A and B are shown apart, each in its own frame.
Chain A
Amino acid sequence: MLVNDWMSAPAITVDIQDSMHRAVELMTERAIGILPVLDNGKLVGVVTDRDLKKAAPSSVALFETRQIVYHLARVKIEGIMTRNPVTVGPDHTIEETAQILRENNISGCPVLDREEEVAGVITKNDIFRALISLSGLPKRGLQFGFMVEDRPGSIKEITDTIRRYHARLVSIMTSFDKAPSGYRYLYVRTFNIDRKRLPDMKRDLSEIAKMLYIVDLRDGTRETYASY
């Protein structure tokens, strides 16, 4: 999952000499929240909807329309943009990018290629879309939560059992976060399960690992087991 496959490209940009009006227009028409700012084709900053809000007349203030129009036309991007923006490369993974956005407390950033050209823009929403696409087809299949021993082969035992029932794998995620020492949490998403054989499969699985929950995404039924 590289940024390249999920970013918006080509990026919609503004020039440093453009008016604030131009930025408002682009963000409204294209429904975007961040615009890379270029100076002679080089990235020098970003302007976000937050920058615009900060610089725009408030809805409480009783401005006349013509004052607002004048204000928007007069203020230049240069005066309201955020300089030295955070960037990522098209060959960054979605997870790295999520971490970078989080560390900098921003909702998106420009993507710069090797030639330092703006290749696109990646936002939290793009990353969300990637996440949802990875979670498989909506309203299909089952998700299981387990606590397994942290040793080689502990995941394989579970996937082998699932395969024995001819169920297909969508995703596996693991976490050591908050798990007791020597254990990890394992989350498995599957599809193509014969619901009639589900009780047998559950029994086999609970013999090799501690089952935390089952969510059947087809009909929305949920079973949560103790202490989770």
Chain B
Amino acid sequence: MLVKYWMNKDVTSVDVDDSMQKATNLMKTRAVRMLTVMKGKKLVGVVTDRDLKRASASDATSLEIHELLYLISQIRIKDIMTPNVVTVKADHTLEEAAARLLTNSISGAPVVDEAGNVVGTISQTEIFLALVSLSGYGKQGIQLAFQIEDRPGSIKNVTDIIRGHGGRIASILTSTSRSPAGFRNLYVRAYDVDRSAVEKLLDELKTVAEVLYMVDHRENKRIVFADQPGVKRAASSS
């Protein structure tokens, strides 16, 4: 789950002295939303579709078309780019990259190697693709959610039962952010589960954990066991 494995390696860049028009054209033809801005071999900024939009004419403008075209032709990348660019390191994990994008409120960032060279870009889109792929969603299996005690062995109790029903594990995810102290939420995605015995599987699982929901992607079936008496809700859920 390292960034270098999931990033876009086809970096499109512009020079700091290029025209805004060149950036607009590149974004259109390459279908990208962010360009790295170079001064020689040095990364000095990024320019995003948002930067372009902000500097472009709107449908509502009252300027004459030739005035507009002149104004736009005068704009250089350095006038509209975002300097002091936030970068992500190639050997960081996807979670670290996601956290960095989120805390900086950006949709993507250039990826740099140890020497500081730009080796790719990573955006929310790439992280989304990775998330979907890594969760095993594409395998058309089932996802089960539980509230379990936060102690050694509590996950194993659950996965042993799923394996006992032929299930192969695609992913196991846990979170403590929406559960009360002493508990955590567990999300298991499994495939090859024997569909004829799903009821029995659920009954067995209920003996070792509180089942929150089951989504069967192949059958498009959703069962939400909301507000069961045994489920302890966190004091604040928002």
Contact = CB atoms under 8 A, between A and B. Distances in A.
Nearest to A63: B62
Interface residues on A, range: 35 or more
B156 A60 contact: no
A87 interface: no
B224 interface: yes
A45 B129 CA distance: 27
B124 A166 contact: no
A197 interface: no
Contacts of A131: 95, 98, 127, 131
Interface in A109-142: 124-125, 127-129, 131-138
Interface residues of B, number: 66
Contacts of A57: 58, 60-61
A161 interface: no
Given A168-B152, A171-B172, A177-B133, A134 B54 contact: no
Interface of A: 1-2, 5, 50, 53-63, 67, 71, 75, 91, 93, 95-96, 98-99, 101-102, 124-125, 127-129, 131-138, 143, 145, 152, 155-156, 159, 163, 166, 168-175, 177-178, 187, 213, 215, 217, 222, 224, 228
14 contacts: A53-B53, A56-B58, A60-B68, A91-B222, A95-B135, A124-B107, A124-B124, A163-B156, A171-B172, A172-B172, A172-B173, A173-B136, A174-B171, A215-B2
Interface of B: 1-2, 5, 53-63, 68, 71-72, 75, 91-93, 95-96, 98-99, 101-102, 107, 124-125, 127-129, 131-137, 143, 145, 152-153, 155-156, 159, 163, 168-178, 187, 213, 215, 217, 222, 224, 237
